[in-house]
Amino acid sequence: MKGTVHYEVKDGVALLTVDNPPVNPLSAGVRAGFVENITKAENDPDVIGLVLTGAGRSFIAGADISEFGTKPDGPGLDEAFKKLEFCSKPVVAAINGSALGGGLETALCCNYRIAGPAAFVGLPEVNLGLLPGAGGTQRLPRLVGPAEALKIMLTGMHVSAKKALSMGIIDEVSDDLVNDSIKFIQEKAANTENHPKVRDLSEKVVEARGSDNVLIEARAMAAKTRKGQFAPGKIIQCVEAAINLDDFDDGMKTESDCFIECLVNPQREAMIHIFFGERAASKIADVPKETPVKDIKKAGIIGSGTMGGGIAMCFANAGIPVHIIDQDEDNLKRGMSVIEKNYQFMVDRGRMNQEMKDGVFGLITSSLDYQDVSDCDIVIEAVYENLELKEKIFKTLDEVVNKDAILASNTSGLNVDSIASVTNRPDKVVGTHFFSPANIMRLLEVVRGSQSSDETLATVMSVGKKLKKAAVVSLNAPGFIGNRMLFGYTAQANMLLLEGALPHQVDQALEKFGMNMGPFRMLDLVGLDLGWRARKLSGTESALPSKISDQLCEQDRFGQKNGKGFYNYTEGSRAPNPAPENEDIYKAVSAENGIERREISDEEIIDRCILALVNEGADIIEEGVGQRAVDLDVVYINGYGFPIWRGGPMHHANAMGMKEVLNKLNKYHELTKNDTFKPANLIKKLAEEDGKFGDAPAKEDRKEKLSFEKSSVAGNL
């Protein structure tokens, strides 16, 4: 059985240490260790109390997530927790690190809780499509009141030891945790007769009875921040039971029923797929685990625009000093003032205090002189997309920046090898494609040049982790992973418009499917004129999907920026209003191109847009541009607003079944004659084998990279 609990007696106190590296989840061996060692402590006449702590950096990171969906060994969590809660001797939880999910629930079964200064607690089950199913929904509201408990459970937030103390989740904070906990329990055992149990506290839940305000607010919060998710409603139902049911055990019964409903819901599997997927994506198959990682003590950014400023904030937020260079003094001033305003906004919203703002903003410096980034360990170029300009900047950086430093480009589509070739350190050049706004969006596409060294890649992946990004590696091929998939998706949305759908119909269908924002709202947000101008400059005829956009631009409809695009906008509002005056344009462009408009169902809209992602994704995996299917899911969820509860496009295809995917691709290929739907070889193979993405073998030799120009999509993007 995985994991264990060590037992030793110190000065009449049994010290139980959970040991299940790296983060001590409650695997079968830990649950068995609880039952065995609590019994041992109860039976030992020399023991007067117990201290429960964790080995290493974590107290307990929750239930063992890998056990969900399997039949676990050993005693269940309910048996282990009963033993703990009804232990005949007092127990204090000595929370040394993260106490999350079942970890905090363990601590809530103890009589007392003391935490180390760097510890944190939380009930993040909602992020896995679950609810706290080991008493968390019943005990936390009793300790902190239903409103605070709901906030913690619906956000999945981490609560620092200091905050937990002020909320009453823990009793003390200590720098000498285990020794202080031993003294604490000795004192309690000697002087207190009845040791408190959270289950017996009823004041805060009874107080909330008779008014639905707390639950109404929670429902509104869930609707806004957890659209389409199943677990939040169940969490609220459990808290409602905690408020209204007199008997604690009746509330526990509601929790247990709701937990099972979440467990069997497909959203749980999809969200756990992403939890493990994000961790898998951070590992590069052919870069050995033991590859040394450079310590990044200072970062440099070239360009103080939206991207440069956002990236600088990421470093500062991670506590890494960062220096921004711009060639223009006014730009630099503007850029720094935008950063300052972003932080001030967070202070105004109560997300950070003035002291924290001064701390992080103080880590960001700026100047016009490249020499000022010469001592950086990594420099990220974030200027506009122009290969010549980027090459010029990299030449300068190569001359001035310390020769061991990594030079990275934030390009969203240019050839990283070309950029690397102008330097004398192509092994230290890599792409770091952040998504806008960089300080908020979690995705980081790491673009592997043909000469990027293992150390460079390992270092950049570890920087990604420090910046709290979901880092995914892509080979250096057109569009990398995300934009290459997006191309077919957006093209299909435009084709549907040409064939008879209207923008709001396409957007609504895809938003109902769960996409954060429909494609036409997105295009209006980005600005239609960017592509239009680029197409005009290139002098070539626009491809069919761009023709409506071009016509809108010809009529000065550029999107949100001038209040009219696919939709109309009133001043100061981002809310899209239908634009019936555009319908004549759609009809005219369809007619000019010989397309007969027809009624299009929501099902066809969803199928065509989502299958375009899936089919391109299959090629990306087969070509080795992305490492594995789940990497693509991580990209789409963190960078493109795909609903996490569907587990990403590739997981969604797995859930549909590969035969169904193939049938639909064939159907739409026949209907549209568009190669977007020509089934990828990998899909045909998997359909034949009744297989799934993820079952496909990873490429053995990932060093044999695809050339940028030879890719199947070169020229299409």
Which residues are at the interface with ligand 3H9 (CB under 6 A)?
A: 22-23, 25, 58, 61-66, 77, 98, 100-102, 105, 124-125, 128, 130, 132-134, 136, 276, 279
Q: Please provide residue 166's backbone torsions phi and psi, each rounded to the nearest 5 degrees.
A: -70, -25
Query: 3-state DSSP call for residue 100?
Result: strand
Report the distance separating Cα 677 and Cα 662, nearest Å. 9
d(CA 453, CA 476): 14
Give 65 or 380: the residue with its C-beta nearer to ligand 3H9: 65
Half-sphere exposure of 420 (CA within 13 A, CB side): 21
Provide, rounded to whole angstroms, the least separation between the CB of residue 630 and ligand 3H9: 12
Nearer to ligand 3H9, 64 or 511 (CB): 64
In this structure, are residues 394 and 419 in contact, taking their beta carbons and an 8 Å threshold? yes
* Angle value at C-alpha 380, between 460 and 351, nearest 5 degrees: 80
Token pair 């030891």: residue: 161
How far CA 403 is from CA of 378, 493, 545, in Å, comes to 11, 47, 46
CB closer to ligand 3H9, 64 vs 391: 64
Whole-number minimum distance, CB 644 to ligand 3H9, in Å? 14
Q: What does the alpha-carbon distance between residue 700 and residue 678 come to, in Å, rounded to a whole number? A: 27
Rounded distance between C-alpha atoms, residue 226 and residue 707, angstroms: 41
CB of 51 to ligand 3H9, least distance (A): 21
Query: Cα-atom radius of gyration of the chain, to the nearest Å?
Result: 28
Supply the minimum distance, in Å, between the C-beta of residue 107 and ligand 3H9: 12
Q: Closest CB to ligand 3H9 among 100 and 363?
A: 100
Residue 575, phi then psi, degrees to nearest 5: -75, 130
What's the closest the beta carbon of residue 271 comes to ligand 3H9, in angstroms?
10
Position of minimal CB gap to ligand 3H9: 101
Q: Would you call 277 exposed, middle or buried from its count of C-beta atoms within 10 A (0-12, 13-18, 19+)?
A: buried
Q: Which residues are catalytically annotated?
A: 105, 125
58 versus 432: smaller Cβ distance to ligand 3H9:
58
Q: What is the DSSP string of 446-500?
A: EEE-TT--HHHHHHHHHHHHHTT-EEEEEES-TTTTHHHHHHHHHHHHHHHHHHT
Torsions phi, psi for 35 (to 5 deg)? -60, -45
CA distance 367 to 323: 8
- CB 234 to ligand 3H9: min, Å: 12
Nearest distance from residue 241's CB to ligand 3H9, in Å?
16
- Closer of 151 and 561 to ligand 3H9 (Cβ): 151
Between 64 and 381, name the residue whose CB sits nearer to ligand 3H9: 64
